[in-house]
Amino acid sequence: MTSLPVLQGIQRLAAPFSGALGVWSQSLASGETIEWNAEGVFPSASTIKLPIFYEVYRQATDKRFRLTDTRTVAATDVVPGSGILKELTPGVTLSIRDLATLMIVVSDNTAANVLIDLVGVDAVNHAMKTLGLGATVLGHKFFRAPAGAVPNSSTPGDLGRLLAQIARHSVLTLAACEEMLRILRQQHYTDYTTRKIADYDGYLEAGVEPVVTVASKSGAIRGTRNDVALVERRDSRYVIAMMTRDCTDRRFYVDNEAAVLLANVSALVDEHWQVEAKGAAAGLP
pLDDT in tens, 259-268: 999 999 999 9
pLDDT at residue 204, as a whole number: 85
Of the candidates 90, 17, 155, the residue with the CA atom closest to the CA atom of residue 163: 155
CB 91 within 8 A of CB 67: no
Identify residue 257 by its one-letter amino acid code. Answer: E
* CA distance between the termini of the chain: 7
Cα(47)–Cα(142) distance, integer angstroms:
12
Domains for the chain: give ranges and CATH numbers: 4-281 (3.40.710.10)
Residue 279, pLDDT > 90, answer no
- Closest C-alpha among 163, 122, 161, 154 to residue 141: 122
Q: Tell me if the pTM is above 0.85.
A: yes
* Residue 283 predicted with pLDDT over 70: no
pLDDT at 1 over 50: no
Q: Cβ–Cβ contacts within 10 Å for residue 230, how many? A: 22
Per residue in 106-157, pLDDT tens?
999 999 999 999 999 999 999 999 999 999 999 999 999 999 999 999 999 9
